[in-house]
Amino acid sequence: MNKLKTNSAEKSILDAAKTIFLQKGMDGARMQGIADEAGINKSMLHYYFRSKELLFNAVFMEAFSTLAPQLNEILNSDRSICDKIKGFSHNYITFVIAHPYLPNFILQEINRNKAFVQDLISKKHFPSIKKFKLQVEEKVADGTLRPIKAEHLFINIMALNIFPFVAAPLLKGILGSSDAQYKNLVEQRKTEVAAFIINSIKL
């Protein structure tokens, strides 16, 4: 059978599954909904991916794979800490504006199935804080940075960049922002977040 046809069917299923799973999560998604989204028969889903769980795993892995590498900019590149923070904030926010469902999906599913994280950690290339920690400790020791634990700094960087997306509906409500106004606010954060962090840690 035609490799192209097979690949394209598999691909269109995965695309549809991504659309549905990212919006509704594992529990809220329906196999029929994914089939409809892909414009194919429900049996095809099982033909190519066996079960809802395996299809979901494929989607989750793909989603996680697009976010995880960005962490290497912070954790494993050789740039200065300030450059890392500026670069990551700008790139991450730009990326997530284009994929707004991603962060929420990852958080939701990682909280739903904690054994899942164990699985991810065991994989190669799972981000680790080791190198970043050495870098921070060095800069704190030589007086370039205020004393701060690398763990806290890392959590803060993640929090300031990711939270505005996962809490968007609530924040819009509290701030009384329209979609356009909030989008504008998020746009500002491409530079605002890094400035905020660097203000806090630079001596």
Partner DNA sequence: ACATTTGTCAACCATATGGTTAAACCTTTT
Partner DNA sequence: AAAAGGTTTAACCATATGGTTGACAAATGT
Residues 6+ positions from 61 with CB-CB distance below 8 Å:
none
Residue 12 or 70 with smaller CB distance to a copy of itself: 70
40 contributes a contact to DNA by CB under 7 A: yes
Looking at 19, 31, 160, 190, which residue binds DNA (CB under 7 A)? Answer: 31
DSSP string, 108-173: HHHHH-THHHHHHHHSTT---SHHHHHHHHHHHHTTSB-S--HHHHHHHHHHHHHHHHHTHHHHHH
Under a CB-based contact definition with an 8 Å cutoff, are residues 74 and 88 in contact?
yes
Residue 1 or 115 with smaller CB distance to a copy of itself: 115
- Binding residues for a copy of itself, rule CB under 8 A, total 56
Return the one option of a copy of itself, DNA, none that residue 94 interacts with (CB less than 5 to 8 A, by type): none
Q: Which stretch binds DNA (CB under 7 A): 49-57, 61-69, 78-86, 138-146?
A: 49-57
Under a CB-based contact definition with an 8 Å cutoff, are residues 14 and 59 in contact?
yes
199 contributes a contact to a copy of itself by CB under 8 A: yes
Residue 104 or 144 with smaller CB distance to a copy of itself: 104
Looking at 76, 91, 108, 144, which residue binds a copy of itself (CB under 8 A)? Answer: 108
Residue 36 or 151 with smaller CB distance to DNA: 36
Query: 3-state DSSP helix/strand/coil percent for the chain, to nearest 5?
Result: 80, 0, 20
Which residues between 32 and 71 bind a copy of itself (CB under 8 A)? Answer: 71
Under a CB-based contact definition with an 8 Å cutoff, are residues 193 and 89 in contact?
yes
Which residues between 60 and 79 bind DNA (CB under 7 A)? Answer: none
Separation between Cα atoms, residue 198 and residue 201, nearest integer Å = 5
Please give the angle made by the CA atoms of 7, 10 and 16, to the nearest 5 degrees: 135
Q: Which residues sit at the interface with a copy of itself, rule CB under 8 A?
A: 24-25, 27-28, 71, 75, 104, 106-108, 110-112, 114, 117, 120-121, 126-129, 146, 148-149, 151-152, 154-156, 158-160, 162-164, 166-177, 185, 188-189, 192, 196-197, 199-201
Residues that bind DNA (CB under 7 A): 1-3, 5-6, 9, 29-32, 40-44, 46-47, 50-53
